[in-house]
Structure 1
Amino acid sequence: MIRRLFYLSLGAFIALWVMRRLQALQPDHVARRTAAGAAGMLARVRDFTSDALGEAAERETELRARFGLDQAGQGD
């Protein structure tokens, strides 16, 4: 009797797990996950680009000050 109850509950658990996995593969769900992933990746790329451009601008300012390039443009 206990063995039957065990296998019955195991079968119910596996059926529930399989149903959840199949629902996750529905086209609209896959499209939502893909869109969310793409939006997240786009945000990370924008953050990286913003950081890289900020660092490049700072470095350019440092180099212009170091080599005196700011004063050369003002004399013309």
Structure 2
Amino acid sequence: MVRRIFWMTVGAGAAVWAMNKANEATRRLTPDSLSGAAARGALHLGDTAKRFALDVRAGMAEREEQLRADLGLDGTAVVEPPTRPIGRRGGAGRAISAAPGSPPVVALPPSRVITPHVIASTPRQLDQRRGQHP
């Protein structure tokens, strides 16, 4: 008799547990619940995309600042005028200093007059410019 009461109680408990699980599943699968879950997922995705875009913008600004500092575009580099006219060969080179009156940071080679070169578009034109006629 005790065994029958025990198994009847176990069966009733299992039935209650199964009914609760079934009711929970039906509540989760209603159209309102599904649309709410989809809306929450979309909001989460939008927040994640927004955070990613802000991180990318911050990284871009930081990198741009680094490049400007490295290239001297942030106003710290001053180009001193050449000591001789640009058209002459030799002479002292130009220097870029960090601020007026400070020692030069980078010395540049002396400036030279650059003569324009004509670019040949075909090998035959190149030979003609060198004086070699085919």
Question: Percent identity, aligned pairs only?
Answer: 25
CA distance in 2, matches of 1:70, 1:20: 63
1:51 maps to what in 2? 55
Residues 21-36 of structure 1 correspond to what in structure 2 (within 5 A)? 21-36=25-40
* Structure with higher strand content: 2
Larger radius of gyration: 2
CA distance in 2, matches of 1:70, 1:63: 9
* Structure with higher helix content: 1
**Structure 1 vs Structure 2 CA RMSD:** 1.2
1:39 maps to what in 2? 43
Letter in 1 for 2:25: R
Greater length-normalized contact order (CA 8 Å, ≥ 6 residues apart): 2
Where does the alignment leave 5 or more consecutive residues of structure 1 unmatched? 72-76
Letter in 2 for 1:48: F
Q: What is the number of residues matched between the two proteins? A: 71
Q: Which runs of 4+ in 1 moved over 3 A?
A: none
What is the TM-score when the length of structure 1 is the normalising length? 0.85
